[in-house]
Structure 1
Amino acid sequence: MLAQPWIQQFFYSATEPRAIEPRGNLADWEKTTIAIFNRVSPSVVQVAGRAGGDFFAGAEPDEPNGGAQTGTGFVWDAAGHIVTNAHVVQGASEIAVRLANGEVARATVRGMAPNYDLAVLRIPARALPPPIPIGSSGDLQVGQAAFAIGNPFGLDQSLTTGVISALKRRLPTQTGREITNVIQTDAAINPGNSGGPLLDSAGRLIGVNTAIFSPSGSNAGIGFAVPVDTVNRVVPALIRNGRVPTPGIGIVAAPESLATRLGYEGLVVVRTVPGSPADRAGLRGVDRTGGVVGDVITACNGEPIRRLVDLSDKLEQVGVGNTITLSVLRGGRTVTLTVEVADIGGRP
């Protein structure tokens, strides 16, 4: 018994490198994940902007970061266009893009759409990795695999996996409007992942990661992505014109809480913008002198309207230059009005 520890130490100590155990074949899901990362990651970039100071501020532990902001982006086309989130570059006086091979390029903003939290950057002409294949968000199903590639906390080329947790979420933006049909995923999305691609198991782009829901600011299993069908509509418009038309009819609507207090299930029109499509169609606002409620929009193209976002969603579906049919409660009876959808620059 006294000699046992010495014997074990002398005869069984691994004083040389141990033999490598053959691993065997990777599982099919592992092969899929590896193939997606190897194919897509070269097209994912890191985006850094600054509102003041310089890009090297914060290099010392006690030095402020000089207003630096970082996120992720990805190659959209061979012309040097990079897609990212609007909030990643908003307010930045200078923007730099670091490619997967380590090359750094100064970027300019080609266009920005805060209503969709999307922005397009442009870097000088150079050989770029291929654009990420485009998928569709219209046929996604809850439970299917989702993959996110980005730069969380500045750690570049990070891959996280998960599933699509929910569909048709609504996400408020800094402009006060909401992005509709947003994808919810449990793939880990942390600060720095914003603007990166969300992929399906075929390696196709199905969304642009934009936000997390977490009191701590770190991943808590709930992340959101702008659906690719929206991205594929907005980004080409930003490249062409530098902006995206905002469809509207020109009304100021009362808060939902007021409509509820008044007992209306619909959108109470406070006033119309002079000369707007709503004004020309004869929509009536509140009569403040007499204290009389004007028109209450209850349906658009036959579908119920209960909130302002419901109307905004329908206007985006119809598009600028087309018309909609509104069902309006007026003085106890319902009237039908045809209204043109116009580009009103932000107001519904």
Structure 2
Amino acid sequence: MARWLTAPPSILSITLACSALVAQAPASKPSLQAQEDAIIKLYRKGAKPRQPSPKGRLSAEEQNTIRRFKEAKPSVVYISALTDEVNQYTGDVMRVPAGTGTGWVWDDKGHVVTNLHVVSVEKDGLIDGAAEVRVTLADGKTYQARMIGWSLAYDTAVLQVFAPLPDLKPLPIGTSKDLEVGQGVLAIGNPWGLDHTLSVGVVSALDRTLPMEFNTNMTGVIQTDAAINPGNSGGPLLDTTGRVIGMNGYIPASTGASVGIGFAIPIDTLNRIVPLLIARGPLVRPRMGFDALVDVQAHMLGVDRGVVVNRVDAGSPAALAGLRGLTYDAKQQVTGLGDVIMAVDGHRTATYGELVAYLEQAEPTSGKVVLDVVRGGAMVKVTLNLDTGRI
């Protein structure tokens, strides 16, 4: 049987009829835009607010977070530091903002704790207090404050706030010695000037060593993934019971904003030095006259323990005592290891920060310290006559 090579007669007639209808169709069919306009007009009618769905029950964890934030908020303050600058054209002295940060109430006597870098300025390589410090409480009231004590090695400052004492509620403190990686934490601060911002996270790591300014290292630092941004410095890091376990203050320098890595000074460190700052004012660290490598740099040279002396200042106590630093070639490549300090006055020092901390806290009464130093594979003792002075 032959196959159809053209449409059957019945199909052909239908096709012709349809063609005629198409030819007679009107040319004024609504455009796509007109159809869309009609739909928009139709759906504009009857617009009204939606009915909210019933609120679900908050989890126990959420309820606890909310409660701890409400309890802590009145004890967290907004700090504004101002400095004096001279107008280069008129010679007038102007008081201008130097920075903002966070602080928290330490006790019932009006003392507020924060980071030193929040309330200080660097001039000619030296740290000096801001010309004026203002503290704003959670109720929006602003009061004058004065920095009464500080420690460069711990980047910590204590303010006396001249506000009614009943308005200053101390935060409860915990301990950092029993912290566990993975436990929940809350950070409260004023990031980017946004007051009383809460972020949550966990303890990401413990016992970090953090390089600080002026060749100091801070040990025992808490690492957290709770968001910490500029303005959070000096704010409390709380555990889930609402106790302060650290003071936030640092993020990786290259980022400038939170990347899930932030650092806090442990509360056990603060609980040791804050009373000293309140009682005696600024801690005075005698000048030694050398700087040291941070841990990572020391490890690259094969040194796993001790303080690696880097450069010794000419005429300094370290130089007069014969302390030896690294040797460098013309391209500033290390060609030889100098002294590695293992102990000061019999106290083992694993880092430069520990050495500085000892000098800040021990206050050697004789004006001298004895360093146990590894030099050329042998242990020798080096006596430094300290040059005391304000940091």
Calculate the TM-score normalised by the size of structure 1. 0.75
Which whole-Å deviations, capped at 9, do the CAs of 1:324-346 have from their partners, x for residues lacking one?
996544676446x6989989568
Q: 1:10 to 1:191 in 2, by over 3 A?
A: same
Structure 1 residue 209 and structure 2 residue 248: aligned?
yes
Residue 31 of structure 1 corresponds to which residue in structure 2? 63
Distance 2:303 2:72 in 1: 53
CA shift for structure 1 position 244? 2.5
* DSSP 3-state at the match of 1:115: coil
Letter in 2 for 1:25: R
Q: Secondary structure at the match of 1:116?
A: coil
1:138 aligns with 2:168: no
1:160 paired with 2:192, answer no
Instruction: Report how far residue 225 of structure 1 moved.
Output: 0.7
Q: In the comparison of the two structures, how many residue pairs are matched?
A: 323
Question: In terms of mean alpha carbon deviation, does 231-240 or 10-19 score higher?
Answer: 10-19
Matched, 1:180 2:219: yes
CA 128–324 in structure 1, closer or farther in 2 if over 3 Å, else same = same
Write the deviation string for residues 218-258 of structure 1: whole angstroms up to 9, x where unpaired: 11111111111111111111111112254x79574676879
Match of 2:190 in 1: 151
Instruction: From the CA coordinates, give the structure whose radius of gyration is larger.
Output: 2
Q: Trace 1:189-268 onto structure 2 (pairs within 5 A).
A: 189-213=228-252, 215-246=254-285, 250=288, 252=290, 267=308
Cα deviations across residues 282-308 of structure 1 (Å, max 9, x unaligned)? x75359xxxx99865456769685x54
- 1:49·1:88 contact (CA, 8 Å) conserved in 2? yes
Aligned equivalents of 1:304 and 1:80: distance in 2? 35
Question: 2:137 maps to which residue?
Answer: 99
- Structure 1 unmatched ranges of 5 or more: 54-63
1:341–1:9 CA distance, 2 compared to 1 (3 A): farther
Identity %: 41
Counterpart for residue 61 of structure 1: none
For 1:52 and 1:237, locate their aligned partners in 2 and report how far apart those are by CA, in whole Å.
Answer: 29
Please identify runs of 4+ aligned residues in structure 1 that moved more than 3 A: 5-20, 64-68, 248-276, 283-287, 292-305, 307-313, 315-335, 337-347
Q: CA deviation at 1:35?
A: 0.8
How big is the shift at 1:309? 4.5
Q: Aligned-pair RMSD on alpha carbons? A: 4.6
- Cα pair 2:248 2:265 within 8 Å, conserved: yes
Matches of 1:132 and 1:164 in 2, distance apart? 20
**What TM-score comes out, normalization by structure 2 length?**
0.67
Distance (Å, rounded) in 1 between the aligned partners of 2:98 and 2:369: 44
Paired with 1:264 and 1:185, the residues of 2 have a C-alpha distance of 25
Separation (CA, whole Å) in 1 of partners of 2:59 and 2:136: 33
What is the aligned partner in structure 1 of residue 116 from structure 2?
A: 86
**Compared CA separation, residues 174 and 9, structure 1 to 2 (3 A):** same
**What's the offset of the Cα at 1:107?**
0.9
- Report the more deviating stretch, 129-138 or 248-257: 248-257
